[in-house]
Amino acid sequence: MSNLADGVFKVALPLVAVGFTRSPALIAGLTFAMTLPWLLFALPAGALVDRLDRRQAMVTANVARAVLLAALALALVAGANSIWALYVVALCIGVAETVYDTSAQSILPQMVPRDQLSRANGRLYAAELTANEFVGPPLGGVLVTAGAATALATPAGLWVIAAGALLLVRGPFRVPRAHPTSLRSDIAEGVRFLWRHRVLRTLAIMTGVFNFASNAVFAIFVLYAVGPTSAMQLSEPAYGALLTTVAAGSVTGSLAAGWIERRLGRARSLAVAFLGGGVLLGAPGLTAEPLGIAAAFFVGGVSIVVANVIVVSLRQAITPDRLLGRVNSGYRLFAWGSRPLGAATGGLLAEFVGLRPVFGIMAALTVALLVGLRVVTDSAMDAAERDVEHR
């Protein structure tokens, strides 16, 4: 339910904003506002997650997101049609997201044996992506045609349902602490662990660069795809349906990740995944044909999730439970903190050079990440896991 809300919201927000402005910079600015908290609040969120009961933190974050979005829907009904209101709510929801997502990723090793993490992450990604990418985007496109307030009130209700479901999960999910520490020292300890671990550090940088590129593309893609003057000339529902091809690939990738990892090995799987990411980002620069772009989006969806399952499972397996929230948030500072920078860069580049060149530039940047696999080898990942076993 939470990921379904995310899927509806991320499509509905820019579609609502297009009704206020056609400026690439202002439209991309919404993605910037929604993702900026990963740059500003990721580290404090991780430290809090390691101090709090992780399930309760997830409940609180979802309730906060629901209240914020319900207030925005009421404001739109009252006639407050301002894009700046969208910016404020996008920023606040992004702050709540840092707490929710860090908690959700950190709680899994408390529920699943570490040797089953790849399997568990694959199944979890399948459920999340079906809602977030496959069902949410077309639903968001349809809801916008029913009215902006309806499109925004729906994810608010879904977040409330998700919070209620989390209350049914029994058991404490607070990691015991041997002695009291300051928030600052907690943050520093997590950052040191991540930065001193060569494999994790390299993967964080690679993921951050890819997220920079993908957010530069998708922050402006709505202008390329939607409206009678756009290159693709899609309607809002058709735009949502197009994005589900990424979801279809993602679900396929989540179910096939284990098989692909066993057949190719982790390093080769990551190489194929980054090549697929280049296909995803570069396709709109080559064609405006919806079927061609849909095929590229499917390939990209498979690639992204295969990489995510491998990387997240590795990080969970080699990080101590007491540090997992902080290491996850530190990783996401690199990996997700680049998203607002990418969105801003994509919007500004599009203002000066147009939409198509942005797609080509970001695809080339993604393919260049293959150089990082000189560090992230199968032997290096295996050695990191053996180090944990010998502690």
Q: What is the pLDDT of residues 232-254, one digit of tens each?
A: 888 878 887 888 788 788 888 88
User: What is the rounded CA–CA span in Å between residue 270 and residue 273?
Assistant: 5
Q: Is pTM beyond 0.85 here?
A: no
Q: What percent of the chain has pLDDT over 90?
A: 36
Torsion of CA 6, 11, 17, 21, to 10 degrees: 150
Reply yes or no on whether the pLDDT at 104 is more than 90. no
Task: Please say whether the beta carbons of 285 and 220 come within 8 A.
Answer: no
H or E element: which one contains 131? none
pLDDT of the residue at 389: 56
Q: Could you read off the pLDDT of 20-53 as tens digits, one per residue? A: 887 878 887 888 888 888 888 888 888 888 888 9
Distances (CA, A) of 191 to 196, 214, 243, 323, 345: 8, 25, 35, 10, 27
pLDDT of the residue at 335: 80
> Please, what is the end-to-end C-alpha distance for the chain in angstroms?
39
Question: What DSSP state is assigned to residue 110?
Answer: G
Q: Could you read off the pLDDT of 108-141 as tens digits, one per residue? A: 888 888 777 777 877 787 788 778 767 777 788 7
pLDDT confidence tier of residue 299, bands split at 50, 70 and 90? very high
User: What is the rounded CA–CA span in Å between residue 270 and residue 276?
Assistant: 10
Q: Tell me, what amino acid is at 47?
A: A
pLDDT confidence tier of residue 391, bands split at 50, 70 and 90? low
